[in-house]
Structures are given as C-alpha cells and as structure tokens.
Amino acid sequence: MIVNFAKFISWAFLPLFIPIIALFITMYIPSEEKNLSDPSLFLLAPEIKDQLILLFLVFGTLAPGFSFILMYRRRLISTIEMDDKTERVIPLFIVFSYCFILFLLFWFEAPNGVLPKYIYAIPLSGTILSIIFVVINNWTKISLHAAGGGILTGYLCAFSIQQLNFNYIIILIGFIISGLIMSARLALNKHSPFQVYLGWCIAFIIAFICNLYYPFDLF
C-alpha cells in the first residue's frame, strides 16, 4: 500500500505539473501585493488567468511531456521517469528550451510591469535550474521530483512574503507537498536521501531568488 501511494504521489506531482499547481494556488487564493505598482495574480481578469494557465500548460507540461513520450517510443530513454541518469541530459535541455521560449514570449509580448513578475520568474527559474541539473547530472542522479517540490515551495515562500498579509497557509501547502514528494521518492528507492535533499534545496534557492528579486538589474 505504501508503494502504491508513493507511486501515486510521484505521478500526481510530476515536475512538469508544478508550474500549473503553483499558479493555481496563487491565482485563486486571495492576496494583495505590498508593491501596489506590481499587478496581483489574484486580481487578474479571469480571461488573462485562463490564457496564462494555457501557455504554462502548453510550454511547461504538454510540450516537454510529449517530447519525453516520443523519446521513450523511439527508445532514446528506457523509462518515462528516466531512471538512468545518462538519459537525462537531452530531456533536461528540452525543458530548458521550452522554459526559455516561454520566458522570451512573456519578455517580448508583455514587457515588465504588464504582468505580475512571477509570470516571468517561474520560467526563468526553470531555465536556470535545467542548466544546473545538467551539470550536476554528471556527478549524481539528482531527484527532479524533489526539485519540483523545491520550486513550488521556493516560489510560494517568495510570493507570500511579498503580500500585505503574510499567508502561512500557502507556505504550509508547499512544505506538505514537498514532504510527500521526497518521502515517495525515498520509499520507491529511486534516490538516496542526499540526491533528494540536494534537488530540493537547489531548486528552492533558485526559485526563491528568482521570484523575490525579479526583475534583476541586468534585465
């Protein structure tokens, strides 16, 4: 039963689902930005929310997901979860490409200030993390599932502390989901504790910095 529950958690919180989960939480839980010049995710018009969700769904979930399925059918990877770390390089570059394309799409079509900064920061953090994980992959099979939990929690923490009313519930959601994901990966013996904690910590730091300090001076 524990194994089945761990498998369910692993599929329910695939890294590709994390951006959509993060946006849903912050778009539909009431919030108000401390910086009133920055548009609020919660106060966006419903049609804008739908368009953003669709873009993140296409570039952050469906496109890379279909790419991985195609690679699996052509036997470029042995499993969808890419258990062999040597098979992860190309998929990580695929994720990098889609994240970067999404970031550039927002950058050119909706310059800073038009949309809440998180819309730019989420794909930017994915772009940066993809490159970091390609490098780390040469050393150890870092947990991408745990990294997804780290991205979610880092984003929610950065988001919450920039609201007028500090929302502990939002942060708690992130840590609970992260705990479930990391426990599931360990229960399935997919990673060592070090690989799980490393993935979560690096992703948390990058997501937190990107969402707290964006836009950076270099942009």
User: Strand pairing partners for 163?
Assistant: 33
- CA 215 centroid distance within chain: 18
Position 112 scores a pLDDT of: 67
Position 76 scores a pLDDT of: 87
Position 15 scores a pLDDT of: 93
pTM: 0.92
Position 218 scores a pLDDT of: 43
DSSP codes of every residue in 122-179? HHHHHHHHHHHHHHHHTT----HHHHHHHHHHHHHHHHHTTBSS--HHHHHHHHHHHH
Position 87 scores a pLDDT of: 87
Position 113 scores a pLDDT of: 67
What are the CB-based long-range contacts (under 8 Å, 24+) for 68-71? 68/94
Position 169 scores a pLDDT of: 83
Q: What are phi and psi of 53, to 5 degrees?
A: -60, -40
Position 31 scores a pLDDT of: 83
The pLDDT profile of the chain, 219 residues, written as one tens digit per residue, is: 888 999 999 999 999 999 999 999 999 988 887 877 677 889 899 999 999 999 999 999 999 999 999 999 988 888 887 878 888 999 999 999 999 999 999 998 887 667 899 999 999 999 999 999 999 998 999 999 999 999 999 999 999 888 887 778 888 989 999 999 999 999 999 999 999 999 999 999 999 999 999 876 444
> In a 10 Å sphere around its CB, with 0-12 CB exposed, 13-18 middle and 19+ buried, how is residue 188 labelled?
middle
Burial 131-148 (b: 16+ CB within 10 A, else e): eebbebbeeebbbbbbbb
Position 216 scores a pLDDT of: 65
